[in-house]
Each structure stands twice: as C-alpha cells, then as structure tokens.
Amino acid sequence: MVKIMTSLIQTLSQIVGDAFVAEGLDAAMGAVRVSDRPDLAQFQCNGAMMAAKAAKKNPRAVADAISARLSANPIFAKIEIAGPGFINLVLTDAYLSGFAEGLKGDDRFGAVPYATGKTMVLDYGGPNVAKAMHIGHLRPCIIGDCLRRMAIFAGYKAIGDVHLGDWGTPMGMILSELEINHPEWPYFDANFTGPYPAEPPVTMADLEVIYPRAANACKDDPARMDAARQATVELQDGRPGYRALWKHFVDVSIAGVKRNYDLLGVHFDLWKGEADSHPYIAPMVDDLRKRGIAIEDNGAVIVPVKTDDDQKEIPPLILYKRDGAVMYGTTDLATIVERVKDFNPDKIVYVVDQRQSLHFEQVFRAARIGAIVRDDVELTHAGFGTMNGADGKPFKTRAGGVMRLEDMIGMARDAVVEQMKSANVAQDMDDAAKDKVALQVAVAAIKFADLQNQRQSDYIFDLNRFTSFEGKTGPYLQYQAVRIKSLLKKAADQGFEPADTITVNDEGRALILLMAEWPETVEMALRNYTPHVLCDFVYRMANAYSSFYGNYHILSESDAGLRSSRLALSALTFKHIELALNMLGIDVPERM
Ligand code: ARG
C-alpha cells in the first residue's frame, strides 16, 4: 500500500499541538515552522508565549512543560528553550531517514491536494486582435501559466482563459479604414445577403499595417474617429458584413498568438475573448438597472462604486458610453457573469499589468455590489510590474519601438547558443538536437528571470545575465538537473543502483530538510500568487545538491553502501527539482 504522506511541518505541529492540549492549552499554539536559526535548530514553535499569556502563566514555565512532554517522544534528538519561551526542535536522523523513505514513494513530496472540488479561472492572456504580440504579453502568460500549474497541483480544476482583446474601438477603426479603401467589398454592402467569400482578402501582415494607420488617422481627424466609433457600435450590434470580417481578423490573429504561446510552452484551456461576453451584456445591464445599481448619467449608463469610506476618488464603472458602445469594464463585468454561469468558480484570478489596478478595483466592486458573484468567490487582480530596459524605462527595441515577442524569443535563443558554446554545453549534439535544447534553455532563461522577481516589482531585461549558466538563472537550474540525470544514467550503465533506503546523516540532512519545506512553500506560492517563492526554493535545492556533489564522491566511491545511498539521494533530488521546474513551466532537457 502506498503510504499517503502529509507534510512534516503538519506532523510536527500535530505532535506539539497535542502536548499543548495535554497542558490544557490551545492546540493551534503548537504550530511548528522551519527554524529562523538553522544553526541552532531545524524547527521551532513560538506558541508558548501566546498560550502563556492567554492562560496567565509564565511563558518559560509553559515552554518547559511542553518540552518535558515532547522529550518522551523518540523522534526528537534535541529540544531546547530559547529566549522568553521559543521551543527549538531537532529531529533524529533515524526519523528523517524514515521521512526520506516516504518521499521516495511520493511524487508530491508530502503536499496533499487541498483544493479538490474547487475551481479557479485564471485570466492571463489578453493579446489584442490585429496586433502582433509584443513583449508586454510576456509577463502575464509566464506568471499565469505557472499559477495554473500550481493550482492543478493543489487540486483545483484550473481554467486558463486567453481572453483576447477583440471587441473595442480598434476593431471599428480597422473596419472603417477598410471601408474607406474598399467600399466595393460585399462586407460593406448593407443589402448584401451573402454568402461572403470564404477568405476575406486581409492577412495578419495587412492588419499590422492597417491598424496603426487607422489609429493615426482617427487621432488626427475627429470625423474618422466618429466613423470608427460608429463601426464599433454596429459591429457589436451584429451587422453581418462587419461580423464576418471581424471573425476573420480574430482567426488570423489567433494563429500568430498560438505560435507565440506554443514557443513559450504556455497553455490555455479556453480561447475566448471580450466579444464572447457580448450576449451577457444587455441582460446584465437591464438587471443592474432594474435593481438601481446601474444608473443613467448624462446619457451614459454607470455603476457608482465609491463608498463613503474611500479616501481616494474611485470613478464609476461605465457600462455604456453615450454613443451606446460598451467599454473594457463592461466586457470584464459581463465576462464574470459568463464565467460564473459556465464554471461556477471559487476564484477568478487576473494576471494583468499592475497599471490596470483601478480598472479591476472598479470591476470587482461592481461585481460585489451587483451580487454578480457569490460573496465567498475570490476575485483577485494579481498585478505585475514592468520589464524595463537598461535605462529603467519600459523595454524597447533599439529603434525605440515595441519589441515583438517572437523577435525577443529569437534573441534569447541566439544568446543561449553563444552561452552554450562558451560553457561547452551540448556541443557534441547534432544541429537538430542542439536547436531543441537551445529553445528549451532560452524559454527557461526568460521564464525564470521573470518569475524569480517579486511579482509587483519591475525588473531589467538583461539577456546576458538571464541566459548565463551561472548564478540564479533558468539555464543554471536546468544544467544542475541534467547533471544529476546524467550521473544517474552513468551509474546505471556501470551497474550501480540507488539504494532502497536513504540513510540521513551529515551528508544528506540539508537536502532532506529542504524537501520537508515543499508542501508549505508551494501552498504559500499559490495562496499569494508569488511564483518567486518557488524559484527561491528550487534554487536553494540546486545549491544544496551542488555542495553535496562537491563534498562527496558518488560514482568513484568504493564503499558500495555509501555509493548507493548517495545515488538514492541524487535520484530523489532530481525528481524534486524536476517537479518544481515543471511547475515554473521549465522543461528539463533530455541531456545537455
Ligand atoms: N487586452 C487587454 C490589454 O491589452 C488585457 C486583458 C486582460 N484581461 C482582462 N480580463 N481584462 O490591456
């Protein structure tokens, strides 16, 4: 029977909590965590002080009593009281060996799925139709896809939605521009009864030229802007020729979007867009108006969201502009209606630029005021900072333009090819294999460089640093993982097998204790939507393995028992690093 592992921290908290209960105190005070002072202890419990206060006892005396009870338990090698009543704990190596034994048979490393039966919708795409994807689309998809992977691991039914920007004024700008240039197209003939040609004569490359031209024309000429607005309203109202052309813009744009996401190994479950919320808008607004939540204001329809407690000004959410067009906030609110109907989610998480925080504040408030979601549904804007250039301003191409995502990935791949040469990595491979590894490493470099930052911080785009095989980088971690993998393979080739048991002692203690931190680490990373916590974890593990590897012989060890135990620890570490990297969206190459 496979033993179901629970986290070591949980097990210890249970044991210490029981001791608190036996002293007539609150079990929750027995919570154990990893020690702040690894030089003094492995774990600590800080609850004696609080428990003593509640029970009007001396904290030191409470800690002593708990410690006396715990000392009857053979799992502890050392129990010490420090300061006013901190309980410091050290486990016996024998106990840690048993724990390591359990990890060998547990692909989840003690992390129990806690969200089974719950649903999380994640919104981390947002590329806009008719525009090439640019580096601004990088952060949401890297962070969001990582959160999606963590959510699945936690047990959620996770739904990643690309939520294309396919419904705003830009669509009307393109339509009216085309109408001026090609009035003879059947799409612009209001009396045309169809069918339309299968392939409208507009390619993605055309759109990339047409859109900026149309946008400029609208900026300079109010009449053009009016025409674009009019076309937007008619598109949204369902004018057939506009809809047919628009559908084509969406299709050709999606092809490019998919190519980018495929290169990055980013997955979406749903390929919906703002337009999909359209059928929900009118009934939603009607309902909100009936209930007095949406009101008319100067010809527009708005939801006031400011409360008396607000210190700052929070403008109302606009549902319909005076010309009847819907806004970004309208589609986001109606998309909540749609998501509730389709998935009944427990959480909806938006991985979107920090600079849109006011927008989400307005939408979330309107959703709460309008009871569009159950009270217990979490709505979170997991905002992120900007990727800047060396000048500290949002990253631009050398010519000062916005860099295409594909070009950026290509640059990273070129940089990796250079780094592989100078680090003498993968040089024995044929070109096809080398290419494959170069892309895997480039994607790892980009993703890790992004994810390792605090989500809200800005960071500086520095390909040289990101792609280095040294330091806290994706390539370094992949390299460490591959090195363990090839060590295990070499061992197998020589007939050396990993031991069945892992005997924990000075050699492996640090690694096993680190593994014990996994369940709480991965849970915290998801709870706060902070992938950097996972990055720190895997980096620490790679370093811990690196010192283990530097300090002890493995293949060249003549003592068969030591060798096989070290191999077993290596295999376990590999399995763990691979799990953590995969959660970051990083592949471990077959070899390097
Ligand atoms: N398309 C939007 C933009 O370019 C991002 C969409 C983010 N997601 C959302 N549900 N609003 O700014």
ipTM: 0.99
Residue nearest (by alpha carbon) to ligand 1 atom 11: 332
Model confidence at 193: pLDDT above 90: no
Q: Once rounded to an integer, what is the mean pLDDT over residues 495-503?
A: 93
Mean pLDDT value across the chain: 95
pLDDT tens digit sequence for 106-137: 999 999 999 999 999 999 999 999 999 999 99
Q: How far away, in angstroms, is 321 Cα from ligand 1 center?
A: 19
Share of the chain above pLDDT 70, in %: 99
Q: What integer pLDDT is reported at residue 3 of this predicted model?
A: 52
Q: What integer pLDDT is reported at residue 1 of this predicted model?
A: 39
Ligand 1 atom closest to Cα of residue 359? 11
Q: How far away, in angstroms, is 237 Cα from ligand 1 center?
A: 22
Q: What is the 3 state secondary structure string of 258-304? A: HHHHHHHCCCCCECCEHHHHHHHHHHHHHHHHHCCCCEEECCEEEEC
Residue nearest (by alpha carbon) to ligand 1 atom 8: 126
User: Which residues form the pocket of ligand 1, taking CB atoms under 6 Å from any ligand atom?
Assistant: 123, 126, 128, 163, 165, 332, 350, 352
Ligand 1 atom closest to Cα of residue 335? 10
| Dihedral, 43, 48, 50, 54 alpha carbons, nearest 10 | 150
Q: Once rounded to an integer, what is the mean pLDDT over residues 201-228?
A: 95
pLDDT tens digit sequence for 240-254: 999 999 999 999 999
Q: What CATH number was assigned to the domain covering residues 157-165+273-384?
A: 3.40.50.620
Rounded to whole angstroms, how far apart are CA atoms 380 and 359?
12
Q: How far away, in angstroms, is 551 Cα from ligand 1 center?
A: 50
Choosing from 121, 128, 268 the residue with most ligand 1 atoms within 8 A of its CB, the one to mutate for a pocket test is: 128
Residue nearest (by alpha carbon) to ligand 1 atom 12: 126
pLDDT tens digit sequence for 386-413: 999 988 888 888 888 889 999 999 999 9
Q: How far away, in angstroms, is 311 Cα from ligand 1 center?
A: 27
Model confidence at 192: pLDDT above 90: no
Choosing from 163, 169, 171, 338 the residue with most ligand 1 atoms within 8 A of its CB, the one to mutate for a pocket test is: 163
Rounded to whole angstroms, how far apart are CA atoms 45 and 65?
13
Residue nearest (by alpha carbon) to ligand 1 atom 5: 126
pLDDT tens digit sequence for 510-548: 999 999 999 999 999 999 999 999 999 999 999 999 999
Ligand 1 atom closest to Cα of residue 328? 11
Looking up tokens 């095989």, which residue turns up? 469
Region of 255 please: left (phi>0), alpha (psi -120 to 50) or beta. alpha
Q: How far away, in angstroms, is 199 Cα from ligand 1 center?
A: 28
Q: What integer pLDDT is reported at residue 531 of this predicted model?
A: 98
Task: Please list the residue range(s) of the chain that carry CATH number 1.10.730.10.
Answer: 405-583
- 59-70 vs 8-22: helix crossing angle, rounded to 10: 110
Residue nearest (by alpha carbon) to ligand 1 atom 7: 126
Task: Please list the residue range(s) of the chain that carry CATH number 3.30.1360.70.
Answer: 8-91
Q: Which CATH superfamily is domain 8-91 in?
A: Arginyl tRNA synthetase N-terminal domain (3.30.1360.70)
Q: How far away, in angstroms, is 558 Cα from ligand 1 center?
A: 60
When pLDDT is cut at 50, 70 and 90, the band that residue 323 belongs to is confident
Residues 6 or more apart whose CB falls under 8 angstroms from that of 297 comprise 316
Nearest to 364 by CA among 340, 329, 339, 318: 329
Residue nearest (by alpha carbon) to ligand 1 atom 6: 126
Is residue 537 within 8 A of residue 511, CB to CB? The reply is no
Q: How far away, in angstroms, is 148 Cα from ligand 1 center?
A: 18
Q: How far away, in angstroms, is 560 Cα from ligand 1 center?
A: 59
Residues 6 or more apart whose CB falls under 8 angstroms from that of 189 comprise 241
Q: What integer pLDDT is reported at residue 487 of this predicted model?
A: 97
Q: What integer pLDDT is reported at residue 2 of this predicted model?
A: 44
Q: What integer pLDDT is reported at residue 400 of this predicted model?
A: 82
CB atoms within 10 A of CB 292: 7
Amino acid at residue number 488: L
Rounded to whole angstroms, how far apart are CA atoms 556 and 559?
9
Model confidence at 235: pLDDT above 50: yes
Q: What integer pLDDT is reported at residue 179 of this predicted model?
A: 96
Is residue 574 within 8 A of residue 107, CB to CB? The reply is no
Q: What integer pLDDT is reported at residue 198 of this predicted model?
A: 82
**Strand 387-388 with 459-460, pairing:** parallel
When pLDDT is cut at 50, 70 and 90, the band that residue 197 belongs to is confident
Q: What CATH number was assigned to the domain covering residues 405-583?
A: 1.10.730.10
Q: Once rounded to an integer, what is the mean pLDDT over residues 44-70?
A: 97
Model confidence at 4: pLDDT above 70: no
Q: How far away, in angstroms, is 126 Cα from ligand 1 center?
A: 4
Task: Please list the residue range(s) of the chain that carry CATH number 3.40.50.620.
Answer: 157-165+273-384
Q: What integer pLDDT is reported at residue 328 of this predicted model?
A: 95
Q: What integer pLDDT is reported at residue 397 of this predicted model?
A: 85
Q: Once rounded to an integer, what is the mean pLDDT over residues 258-274?
A: 97
Classified as helix, coil or strand, 96 is helix
Q: How far away, in angstroms, is 435 Cα from ligand 1 center?
A: 33
